[in-house]
Each structure stands twice: as structure tokens, then as C-alpha cells.
Structure 1
Amino acid sequence: MPEAVIDKQQVASSFGRAAATYDQAAAFQRQVGHNLLERLPAAWQPEYVVDLGCGTGYFTRALARRYAVPVAGLDLAEGMLRFAREQGETGHGWIAADAEALPLRDESQDLIFSSLALQWCPDLGKALAEARRALRPGGRLALTTLVEGSLSELRAAWQAVDGFVHVNRFMPEAHLRDCLASAGFAGLSCDIETHVLHYPQLSGLTHELKALGAHNINPGRPGGLTGRARLRALTEAYESYRQPQGLPATYHVAQVQLYKEG
């Protein structure tokens, strides 16, 4: 993904501000992360584990419980780390970290777990290279990331209203697979899950995205407040997607496992 698309500081600030509201809005994020956990080998016992893009620390603690080892929570957003720290320690604590420049020694980790975080990296290839460097021989990077087509209904509804960028851009699946294949790992698997969430009203989706810190952070977004007329037009455009269950929001999630040569 071109570097100009994502501003790391904007990402950190947006998610940091959402720390106190994130967990209440994160049911989908937890489902995706639990699906990733379930893909890890049941009998495997990694000794050195980090949760990259740990957010509030939900999966950092889940990993510590599962493997009964200290787990470090790494995140770019200081606000998320402060919130996670207030919930208690996991052994190795909470560390401000950029996925593209990990503060980890070479060949020091058995498992790097990262759920719905690496889509915010301007250079995914650099993040994958850093993870590979930090993994011990035989180690594994387990990650989930959103791919193009996620929130397609919201994007299309906004396109009917104006020409601004209102919805975060995600990497095309083919580009993601190319990045994974060229990252130098000994083996990989990549499966795409499709999740369709439903909301009684559009405000349920937009409020949830704001509570998660995942609302629009792309260049080309409109400045200032969104006018009432545009919101009415957006609501009318989104209504064309209504299903019996409600207004759909579709997410395409890549479930990825990368294995370092032993």
C-alpha cells in the first residue's frame, strides 16, 4: 500500500482517543481475533510471545492465559497502552512500538500475534520483514488484516453523495498475497473470511467505527463536520442496501499464518 495513504501519527492518535470506548464496540474484532487464536496449533507451546497492535490488551491477556507465559503488548497508540496498563500487567508489560521498526532482538520470539492491526501499516512488506527478523527459527507470525471490499456498502453510499474519501482504504487481496509470498517465510497460509454485520440504522455503524477509532483517517477526507444534508443523502443511499436483518456492513478478513524456517 503506498505510504502516502496512511499517516502513522493519525492512526496512533485516532486509536488512542478511542481507548476508553474500544472494548464496548469490539465484538467483531474479538470474533476475528478468536478465530486467529483457534488456528494456532493446539499442542504448540511458544515460550516468547508478543501481541503486536495489542490495543486495550484483550488478546495479550488471552495469550498469557493460553500459554501460561509472560506476553508483551506492543502498540503504536500511547492512549491504548495507558488503558491496557491500567487493566493490569501480563508479565512483559506494555511497549510503544512501530510494527515497521520493532523494538525486539533478532530471533527472540516464538510467536508474534497481530489481529486487525497491520492494515494500518504504510509498508506491510517492512512490517513482515521486521516480524521475520524478530522470530526464532521455527517461529510463527499469526495475523489478521482487512482487505479491499471491506465496508464496501459505506464506500458506495458515500460515492453517491460526494467525491471525498470517507472510508478507509484496504489492500487488494492479490497485493496482500504477493506481499506475503515475497516476505521470505518458509511457509504460509492465507484464508479470506467474510463477515456481514447488520445494524438497525446507519448511525449504529458510524458510531461504532468512531468508538473503535477506525473512522476515516485517509488523506482526501473532508475537513470539518459533515453537514446534515450530506448525512441525509448518505442515509438515503445506504438504505438501498437494507436487508431483512438490517443495514449490512461487510468485512473481508485475511487470516494469515507465516512460518519461519527452523
Structure 2
Amino acid sequence: MSEPVLRLATAAVLDRDGYLPDKRQVAASFSRAAGSYDSVAALQRTVGSDLLARLPGSLAPQRWLDLGSGTGHFSRALAERFPAAEGLAVDIAEGMLQHARPLGGARGFIAGDAERLPLQSECVDLLFSSLALQWCGDFPSVLAEARRVLRPGGVLAFSSLCVGTLQELRDSWQAVDGFVHVNRFRRFEDYQRLCGASGLRLLGLQRQPQVLHFPDLRCLTHELKALGAHNLNPGRPGGLTGRARILALIEAYERFRQPQGLPATYQVVYGVLHKDR
């Protein structure tokens, strides 16, 4: 990795809108999940592969950045797709970086925050980020940082989650109590507005549902925990959840059952933006 690429950055840890968790909790949760993540990451693989397919066919970066690189699966995919390019992997969770480093793919593995990237300006040609930016409360700063680090002609390609994700679980908990049990996400309309005001040219922005099915509620909650994506929101209830409430939740969720099992809907946002100058 070229030495001038790096610059010192202090990661912000507070969500200015108050509806996303403290980033220190996000980093710690995903660090703990590094060993189990790949075993339950089918949705993440599907979404990331879809995002790769949305990249402009003419794109030939000299340097790419995998932002929110996790266990490095898509860092390795990017290295295979662009073998002549230098790759950087950035993640807020040091545990994920420790897991990914021995597996290769990127040339450099850097702990960093998407809202304040530890990179020099105009140093990458492709910023790829799949299912990571939903944890960023200050999305305008994410877009501003993407615009800053991209060279003219560079591309930002991201996937994220919006309102409607895990709606079945959210509605089931609402039938049980009024606490925050499910991670909150921004509206698709906010992605539209913020991307439109980013100074980057929008090549595409779509919302696409992905529905997973589980035999029972325990399998769903186990997967969320293994991914590190269980409830981290401010306002979540403390302590253990009582047996009566769990039974009530199971009963409420069973009303959504389909022939394939209990559905869990993810509303996935795909965005591709271009830096003209």
C-alpha cells in the first residue's frame, strides 16, 4: 500500500440523528461475530454479488476500496475481477480485519470510519461498499467522503438497507411491547434526496426486497446474532427477555408464516454514483 494514501482520522462515535447505535457498539458486535459471520452470510453474498453486477462494464480502476469489508469476501472478489488494481479494505471492526488479513484480497487492511475515511483525497477509482452503510448515522458525510477520496471518473457503488427491513419482526414485537427491538434504518426517500444532493452523478438507485425464510423464530434470531446484526439501537430493553414475552412474540410472528417458513424481509438499496470531476 502506498504510504501517502493513509492519513490520521479520529472516528466519530455519536449518531447525530439519535436512531442508530453508538459505533463503538457496532464495531465490538461485528468484531465478536467475525468467526461466525461467513457461516450465515447468504444474504450478504447475494446482495454483494448483485452490487458487483451493477458496476459499469467499462470500469478499470487502478485502486479500489472495499468499505465495510468485513471478512474480506468481496475484497477477494474485487481482486479477482480487477487483478491489475491495488486493493484497500477498510472496516470499523478490528476483529473483522484480523480475520480477513490472512485470507488476502486487498493489499492494505485499515481500521476506519466511513464518515471520516483515513485516506488522502482523490486516491481511489472505485469505492465499493455492500451492506455496511446502514450503520452510519451521518450519511451526507459518507457521501462527502466518497466524493473526496474518489478520483475524477471514479465510481461509488453501495448497497444498504432501508425502512421495511425486518418488518415482520418489528410488527411482531409491537404486538408484545413498545420497546425498540429491531434495528432502525433510514427511508428510501432519504437515500434519494441525499444521493441527489451529494455532488456525484447518480447512475442508478433502486430498492429491491430480499425475503429469507426460517423454520422458526430461534433460527432467525440466531442468524442475526451470528452476523453481529442483532438489536443495537438506543432504547432497546435491558436485561433478559422474559419467557412470557418470548412466547407472545413467537405467537405474533407465526401469523406471518408462509409455506416456505417464517419470512424475514430485507429492503435492499442499491446505488451507483459517478464522480465527473
TM-score tier (shorter): over 0.9
- Asked if 1:36 is matched to 2:71, the reply is no
2:148 to 101, 126, 133: 133
CA contact (8 A) 2:70 2:96 kept: yes
Q: 1:183 aligns with which of 192, 198, 201?
A: 198
Alignment partner of 1:114 is 2:129: yes
Tell whether 2:227 aligns with 1:212. Answer: yes
1:4 partnered with 2:32: no
Deviation at 1:186, TM superposition (A): 2.6
Report the counterpart of residue 67 of structure 1 in structure 2. 82
How far apart are the structure 2 equivalents of 1:70 and 1:62? 13
User: Per-residue displacement from partner, 1:11-42 (whole Å, max 9, x unpaired)?
Assistant: 11111110000000100011000000001123
1:213-240 CA distance string (max 9 Å, x none): 0000000101112111111111000000
Q: Which runs of 5+ in 2 are unaligned?
A: 1-14
1:226 and 2:267 correspond: no
Residue in 2 aligned with 1:165?
Answer: 180
- Structure 1 distance, partners of 2:94, 2:199, is 31
1:21-32 aligned at under 5 Å gives the runs 21-32=36-47
Post-superposition offset of 1:3: 3.1
Q: Which amino acid aligns with 1:154?
A: L
Moved over 6 A (4+): none
Indicate the SS of the match to 1:203: helix
Q: Does 1:249 align with 2:264?
A: yes
Amino acid at match of 1:183: S
From 97, 117, 130, the counterpart of 1:81: 97
SS of 2:66's equivalent? strand
Partners in 2 of 1:160 and 1:128 — Cα distance? 37
Change (3 A) 1:239 1:195: same
Q: Give the 3-state SS of the residue equivalent to 1:95 in structure 2.
A: strand
Q: CA deviation at 1:43?
A: 3.5
Q: Distance in 2 between matches of 1:141 and 1:210?
A: 29
The TM-score with structure 2 as length reference comes to 0.92
1:201 corresponding residue in structure 2: 216
TM-score by length of 1: 0.97
The answer to whether the 8 A contact 1:187-1:260 is kept is no
| Partners of 1:40 and 1:54 in 2: CA distance | 17
Q: Is the 8 A contact 2:195 2:202 kept in 1?
A: no
CA contact (8 A) 2:89 2:106 kept: no
The CA distance in 2 between the partners of 1:235 and 1:5, in whole Å, is: 26
1:224 and 1:14 mapped to 2: Cα distance?
A: 17
Deviation at 1:211, TM superposition (A): 0.3
* Whole-angstrom CA distance in 2 between matches of 1:155 and 1:91: 37
Identity percentage of aligned residues = 57
Counterpart in the other structure of 2:61:
46
Contact 1:180–1:188 (Cα < 8 Å) also in 2: no
Deviates more, 1:106-115 or 1:89-98: 89-98
- Consecutive unaligned residues in structure 1, runs of 5 or more: none
Aligned residue for 1:144? 159
